[in-house]
Amino acid sequence: MKIKGILCAALGCASMSVFAQSSVTLYGVLDEGLDWTSNVGGSRAYELTSGYASGSRWGMRGVEDLGGGTQAVFQLESGVNLSNGAAGQGGRMFGRQAYVGVQNSQFGTVTLGRQYDSVVDYLAPTTANGNFAGYLFAHPFDNDNTDNSFRANNTVKYASPSFGGLKFGGTYSFSNDTGFANNRLYSVGASYANAGLLVGAAYMRADNPGMNSAGAIATNDASFIAQRMQVFGAGINYTFGPAMAGFAYTNSSYANPTGNGYLGNTDITNGTELKNIRYQNFEVNGKYAFTPAFFIGAQYVYSIETYDAASGKVKPKIHSAGLMADYFLSKRTDVYVQGVYQKIAGSATDSALDQAYVPGALGQSSNSEQFIARVALRHAF
């Protein structure tokens, strides 16, 4: 009996040791608010909407110590629409992220599954929408994916450890098709953080994005459906005391585009042959914390569109301006107010993209202007 007791105690200690070296965390963010839009097809719109400053979600992340400084990691993250209880990201159970991998403090992390690309990981944090403001502050049609309109399926990702503030990484997303490049994606990026300085840059290319459901960018997940998508850009933020100021530039192009996810993936050409669409986005953003619980943020984006059609080239200009105020009621609960205005100026393209559209609005304006205001409650757990 004495030996049996000693063995049980030893096994108990071993069991507690295993549990001490492994952990699973449940977490989430719930963001719900009221939107008013000045013009949706010629009418005003009033809505209760979910997940704008932060995408509403719940998830699980876990880590297990494998020894030698190496750990197994996983993350399952599900988007949720609080207004109706539906799953986000096209109804996927874990549509935001779903991956498993290994990490080492010296060599970095390799993960496999549905994940963010390098634009989201390294460049987006220098923009207002990827930093503090979210959905409504995205660039037109989120043309550069800095607001992670889509996630990449079938993805192998590498992320380096920090080398004195420098991080870098890349992704490759398989087409899962006999045509190797039929809806594949690859991206690379890097960032440097030191004291109040943050610099980020990234490049991404996708072939036939949105052309099928099994590839890197599924049809019901794509921002644009095209023969080829390329995005590159860089940004810089600097925080000094309670203030932060930033600038970002992104350049995105779509060869032979046919559809847009924000417009229901319907034919956007209106019978006009669009050979190429290019967006250049110049963004200035800033934020000032009056107290630890209250800040005001702002953004201005000047977007140059270049439409290369069979009838010739046109270059409309898009002006987007946003303002946000955020007050924290506690460490995990805040209320915020946002307002965003968009104006399209210059030549018309004769495509479905001529009318103003603030990402997150119920639909396109009937003309070249649109304004949307939002007041919301957000809770993190």
DSSP 171-224: EEE---SSSTTTTEEEEEEEEEEETTEEEEEEEEEEESTTS-SSSSS-GGG-SE
Q: According to the model, what pLDDT value does residue 3 have?
A: 45
Over the chain (381 residues), what is each successive 10-residue block's mean pLDDT?
Answer: 45 43 94 98 96 96 95 97 93 95 96 98 97 96 94 97 97 94 96 97 96 92 93 97 97 92 78 83 98 98 88 87 98 98 86 88 94 98 96
In a domain, 11, yes or no: no
Largest pairwise CA distance in the chain: 92
In a domain, 214, yes or no: yes
Q: According to the model, what pLDDT value does residue 260 have?
A: 86
In a domain, 228, yes or no: yes
Q: According to the model, what pLDDT value does residue 311 have?
A: 67
Q: According to the model, what pLDDT value does residue 194 have?
A: 95
In a domain, 10, yes or no: no
> Which residue shows structure tokens 């980020």?
200
Looking at residue 368, what DSSP letter applies? S
pTM (2 d.p.) = 0.89
In a domain, 4, yes or no: no
Q: According to the model, what pLDDT value does residue 258 have?
A: 87
In a domain, 205, yes or no: yes
| Domain count for the chain | 1
> The CATH number of the domain where 341 resides is what?
2.40.160.10
In a domain, 340, yes or no: yes
**Residues 186, 126: Cα–Cα separation, whole Å:** 21
Looking at residue 139, what DSSP letter applies? P
In a domain, 2, yes or no: no
Are 137 and 340 in contact by the 8 Å Cβ rule? The answer is yes
Domain coverage including residue 153: 23-380
3 state SS of 248: strand
Backbone angles phi, psi at 332, to 5 degrees: -120, -5
Q: According to the model, what pLDDT value does residue 295 have?
A: 98
